[in-house]
Chains A and B, each alone.
Chain A
Amino acid sequence: MLQFMIRRIGWSLLTVWLISLVCFFIIQAPPGDFVSVLMANAEADGRRLTAQQVDVLRERYNLDQPWYAQYWAWIWGILTEFDFGYSFRWNRPATDVIMEHLPFTLLLAGGSMFLTWIIAFGIGIYTAVKRYSIGDYFWTFVGFIGLSVPNFVLALVFMYVAFRYFDMSVGGLFSPEYVEADWSAARVLDLLQNLAVPALIIATAGTAGLIRITRANLSDELAQPYVMAARARGQRENVLLMRYPVRAAMNPFISTIGYAIPSVISGEVIVSSVLSLPTTGPVLLGALRNQDMYLAGSFLLILGVLTVIGTVISDLVLAWADPRVRRQHSGAAQ
C-alpha cells in the first residue's frame, strides 16, 4: 500500500511539472510579450511609456532572459512567494485575483458534486433495483431532461421562479444586505443559501449521466452470484444490497473524482455569468479573451494541479475501498 502511494505520488509530481511547462508555453504563446501589449495599450490611450519604464517592466518579469530562465523565475516565484505573476487586466498581482475567486469556486464545485452524487446515487440505485418498472422509466426520463436542457436555461428558470414566487434574489454570492458585511453566522448562512441554487443547477447536468452509470454498474453487480449467495445465507435484502453490490458499484464512481473537478469548474462558466457569481469560470474566460497571460496560465496551472490532486485522491480512495487494488499493487504478483 505504501509502495503504491509512493509510486502514485511520484507520477503525479511528474505530471504537475509537465502541466506547468504547458501552462508556461501558453503564457509565452502570443507574439511579442506582456510589455509590448502594455505599450500598445498605452499608445492607444495616447500615453507613452518611457524606455526606462519598459526596461524596468521587462526586468521585473525577466522578459530579457531566455525562456527557461523566465520559466524558472515564474515557478520559483510560485514555489517560494506564492507569486503567480501580474495580471495586466486587473492591474493587480494574479495571486490576489485567484485567491479572491478560487475559494468560492471550490465551494460551489464541491457543493454541486455532493448534490450530484446524492441525487445520482439515490435514483441510480432505485432504477437498478426496480429495473423496467414505471419508477425506473420516470426517473430515467427526468434524468434525460436534466441532461438535455442547457444549464443556463435552467439557471434563468430558477432565477425567475425564485424571484417571482419566493421573493428570493438568486444571483451573486450574497444577498444585498450581506455583501459588504463582516463575516458572521448569518452571513455564512446567506452564502450557503445563495450557493444552493447554482449548485443544484450545475448538479443536474452531471446527474443524468451518473444515474445511467450507477444503474448499469449496479445491474451488473446485482447479477453476480455473490448477491444470490448472500441471499442464500439468509441476509436481509436491504442490508445485502447496500453491503455488497452497491459498494462494488461505487468503484467506478470513485475513479471519476479526478475528472469531476475540471468539468465542474469549466461547466459553470455560463451559469456563473448568468447568475453573476464571482467564480473562476468567468475570470478565466476574460483572461483568455484579453490575453491576460499570467492570470490565464496561472488559472490553468491551478486547475491542472487540482485535477492531478483529485486523481491521486481518487486512486487512494479506490485503493482504500477495493482490496483488489490495494493488495495486488503491494508486491504480490498478479
Chain B
Amino acid sequence: MRQPQDATQPHDAAGSEPTEVMTETLMTTPSSHLSAPAPLLEISGLTVEFPTEERLVTAVAAADLTIRENQVHCLVGESGSGKSQTARAALGLLDPPGRVAGGQMLFHQSDGQVLDLADLKPRGRRMRHIRGGEIGMIFQEPARSLSPLHTVGFQIAEAMRLHRGLTKKESWEAAVEALRAVRIPRSELRAKSYPFELSGGMRQRAMIAIALAGQPRLLIADEPTTALDVTTQAQILDLLREIQAERDMAILFITHDLGVVAEMADEVSVMRRGEVVEHREVHDLFAAAEHSYTQMLLKATPKLRVPTERPGSPPLAPFRSVGTNAHSSTGFGAITSASVATVRGSATTTAAADAAKPLVEVRNLTRSFILKSGALGLQRNQLRAVDGVDLDIYAGETLGLVGESGCGKSTLAKCLLRVEKPTGGTVLQRLTTHVTGDVAAVPERQLREYRRQMRMVFQDPFASLNPRMTVRDILLEPVRGDGPISDNWLVELLELVGLESEHLERYPHAFSGGQRQRIGIARAIATDPQVLVADEAVSALDVSVRAQVLDLMARLQAERGLSYLFISHDMSTVEHLSDRVAVMYLGKLVETAPTAELFTRPMHPYTETLLSAVPIADPVRQRGRARIEISGELPDPTEKPSGCPFRSRCRFAQEICATETPPLRGTGEGRQTACHFAEQLQLTGILR
C-alpha cells in the first residue's frame, strides 16, 4: 500500500514501514512483499471533488491504491464511499461537475512508459486510447449499459473497430468470436439480438466482451454482479476468473459484498468516506483485519456457519411473550411453532390441538396472468407466476422464502395480502375472526381486519414512503378510524424502531435509507399485526445498516411474537434470520425445511445449486469448496419445461422428470421436497 506523504491516517499505518522517498513507497503487507508482481496502476493521493452550488463535496479524499499486474484487486466499501468515483477518475469518466483535484494515477503501459492518467484530457485522444484499449470497464447494470437501440453485436464491433483497426465486416466477425469467448451459445444469432432480448447474465457477458475488445491489461469491474441473481453471479464470477487467468490482465473489482471479495480477490482495499482505510492480502484481511471499520464490515456480514447465531433471541427460546391485545382477540394467545414444537405462548388455556395449527395455511395457490400477443392481440399465453403453492406460516416463526428473480416470490406475497387476487387455491387464516373462510375468495371489504393483522414491509425505502407526508401522517395512516391517537403512542412506536420523538414532524427525505426502513417497519407494526411480510426489506441497504435493521426485526419478533415471511434473494441473510426456509423455482415450491437442515443437507438439486452459488465471506472456505455448475438460463416462465420445472437445468434429470411433475411431499421431520429422487440424492450444503 502506498503511504500518503503526510500520513494523516495513523490507524492505517499498521504493518507498514513509512519511507521518505515518494518513488519507492510501494509499501507491502507482510505476506506479499516478497513476490509482489510489478505495479500496473498506482493511484496516490487521489482527490475527487464535486463542486455544487451549496458546497464542495469531496467524493475521494487522498486515496491510495496500487493495482498489480495479473492480480485481482478488490475495492470494498459501502455506498458513497467513493469506490466507483475512484475508478471513474482513472478513466476520466467523472460526471460533471466532478473533477480530479489532486493526486497521481500512474499507469505502466506495455511499452514500459509510465503515464499519469490525471494529466490526460478526459476527452483527449490519448485518454480514448487508454479507455477500452489499455483499461476496459464493465458496469453494475448491464441492462442499462448497453444501448437499447443497437444490437449487441454492433456495440461489440464498435469497440473492435476502435481498438483493433478492423473493417466493418471483420469487426462483426470479431464480435461474434468475442461472444463465443464469453461463453454465449449460438453467438452468430445472439450478436444480432438487442439487449432487451437477452437475460441479465448474457448482457453482462456481452459487456465483458466489449471491455475485452481492445485486449486491455486492466479490467475495471464496477459492481458487475450486484444486479444479478446469485446463480448468474456465480457464472459471471467464474467467467471473470477464467478470463483473467487466460489473459495477461489485472482486475480492479469494485464491490460491497465481502462474499464476492472472498471469492475473487488477491488483494483488498477498503474504502470509507473517500479514504482507503485498509489494504491487505485477502486472507490476511479476513483473518486479521486491523481497521475498526473493516472489522465492523466483517462482523456485519453473515458467515454461514453452524451453529448460527441469530440476532436477538436465539431461535429455540422456549417462551416468547405474545401479550398483545390483537392476538388475544383471535383466541390464539398460545401458539406452537411446529418447526420447533415448543410452546411459545404464555397462555395455556388454548386447546392443544389449536396450538399446532398454522396462522396461515396456503393451499394450491395459483396466480396466472394472460399475455396477449400476435396480430390484433388474439393470441394468448398463460403465465403462471405462482403455480400451486402450499405453504404454512406458524406463530412466532420466521419463514424465509428464497428464489431467483421472476420465480414468483413477490406475487405470492401479494396474493397472501390479497393485493393481487389469486386465480386459484385457498388461503385459510387464524389471524382474525372477521374473515370467515377463504381469504383468496372473500370480498374486498371483509379484508380490512385481516390486513391489519398481516402487514408488509417493502424493498425500496425511498419509493415506499410518500414524500409529501410527515412521519406522523405516515404512521397514522394505517390506524385511521381507530379513534384519537395520542402523541405518546406515536413516540412509543418510533422508539420501538429506534427513532425519536423529534422525528415525528419530518418528511422522509430527511432520513437515511436505514432510518426510512425503520419508519416502514413502524408503519407496518402500527396496527399490532401478527404477521409481517418483508419483501426484500433489507436488500437495498448497506451491510452495516442491514445488520441493524435485521437486529431490529429480531428484537420486535422476540418482544411481540411476530411471525415473519421473509422474502429475499440473498441466501445468507435468509439463513441468518429464518427458522424455516421455502425455496421457490418458476412459481413452485421445490423444498421447505428447517434452516439449519436445508443449509446443511439440501434435498432438492435446485437448493443445492443455489447454495453452491452463494459466496461465503471467508476466502479459505469459499475457495476450498466444490462448485456445482448450473447449466443454462432460467427458462421463460411462459414456456416451463414439462414435468419437473427444474429438469432442464438439473444434473440428475431422468426420463420420469419430463413426464411426471414431482409433488411437494414429506421427506423427513418438518421437511418437504418436490423431487422424485429426494431420498436417493446425497447433496452438498453450505454449512459445516
A residues within 8 Å of B by Cβ? 3, 6-7, 10, 223-226, 228-237, 243-244, 247-248, 321-324, 327-328, 331-334
Contacts and interface: CB of A to CB of B under 8 A. Distances in A.
Given A225-B139, A233-B131, A333 B381 contact: yes
A239 to B, nearest CB: 9
Interface string B627-663: 0000000001010000000000000000000000000
Nearest to B88: A228
Contact of A234 (B95, B141, B214): B214
Residue from A3, A230, A234, A236 having most chain B Cβ neighbours under 10 A: A234
Contact of B211 (A7, A233, A236, A244): A233
A229 B148 contact: no
Contact of B139 (A228, A236, A327): A228
A237 B123 contact: yes
Interface string B198-223: 00000000010011011000000000
Contacts of B194: 323-324, 327
8 nearest CB pairs, A to B = A234-B132, A3-B375, A233-B132, A234-B131, A232-B137, A229-B145, A333-B371, A233-B159
Residue from A226, A247, A332 having most chain B Cβ neighbours under 10 A: A226
Contacts of A322: 148-149
Nearest to B382: A333
Contact of B131 (A10, A232, A247, A331): A232
B34 interface: no
B128 A225 contact: no
A225 B137 CA distance: 12
Given A3-B376, A328-B196, A333-B381, 15 more contacts: A3-B374, A228-B93, A229-B146, A232-B137, A233-B158, A233-B213, A234-B130, A234-B132, A235-B158, A244-B150, A324-B194, A327-B196, A331-B373, A332-B373, A333-B638
A234 B210 contact: no
Contacts of B207: 229
Contacts of B506: none
Contacts of B376: 3, 6-7, 10
Given A224-B144, A234-B133, A333-B381, A323 B149 contact: yes
A331 B163 CA distance: 38
A223 B96 CA distance: 11
Contacts of B373: 331-333
Contacts of B210: 229, 233
B476 to A, nearest CB: 36
A6 B211 CA distance: 41
15 contacts: A7-B375, A10-B376, A225-B140, A225-B145, A228-B93, A229-B146, A232-B132, A232-B136, A233-B211, A234-B162, A235-B162, A323-B149, A327-B196, A332-B373, A333-B371
B372 to A, nearest CB: 9
Contacts of A324: 148-149, 194, 196
Nearest to B195: A226
A84 B132 CA distance: 64
B146 A232 contact: no
Contacts of B379: 331
B129 interface: yes
A226 B144 contact: yes
Interface residues of B, number: 48
A232 B145 CA distance: 11
A7 B196 CA distance: 23
Contacts of B197: 327
Nearest to B637: A333
A321 B155 CA distance: 17
Contacts of A225: 139-141, 144-145
A234 B128 contact: yes
A7 B379 CA distance: 13
A173 B194 CA distance: 49
B129 A234 contact: yes
B147 A230 contact: yes
B91 interface: yes
A223 B95 CA distance: 9
Contacts of B150: 243-244
A244 B155 CA distance: 10
A255 to B, nearest CB: 15
B383 interface: yes
A315 to B, nearest CB: 15
B147 A244 contact: yes
Contact of A323 (B95, B132, B139, B148): B148
Residue from A223, A225, A231, A233 having most chain B Cβ neighbours under 10 A: A233
A7 B371 CA distance: 17
A22 to B, nearest CB: 24
A5 B589 CA distance: 42
Contact of B147 (A248, A333, A334): A248
Nearest to A228: B93
A180 B88 CA distance: 68
Contacts of B377: 7
B688 to A, nearest CB: 40
B144 A236 contact: no
B374 A331 contact: yes
A234 B163 contact: yes
B383 A333 contact: yes
A232 B148 CA distance: 17
B523 to A, nearest CB: 32
A228 B131 CA distance: 11
A233 B134 CA distance: 10
Nearest to B371: A333
Contacts of A10: 376
B148 A234 contact: no
B131 A231 contact: yes
Contacts of B129: 234
Interface in B370-403: 371, 373-377, 379, 381, 383
A248 B162 contact: no
A222 B550 CA distance: 38
Interface in B170-208: 194, 196-197, 207
A247 B493 CA distance: 52
B149 A321 contact: yes
Contacts of A236: 128
A71 to B, nearest CB: 27
A230 B211 CA distance: 10
Given A224-B144, A334-B371, A229 B383 contact: no
Residue from B140, B148, B163 having most chain A Cβ neighbours under 10 A: B148
A248 B149 contact: yes
A15 to B, nearest CB: 15
A234 B92 CA distance: 11
Nearest to A4: B375
Contacts of A332: 373
B146 A226 contact: yes
Contact of B91 (A230, A232, A244, A321): A232
A235 B163 CA distance: 10
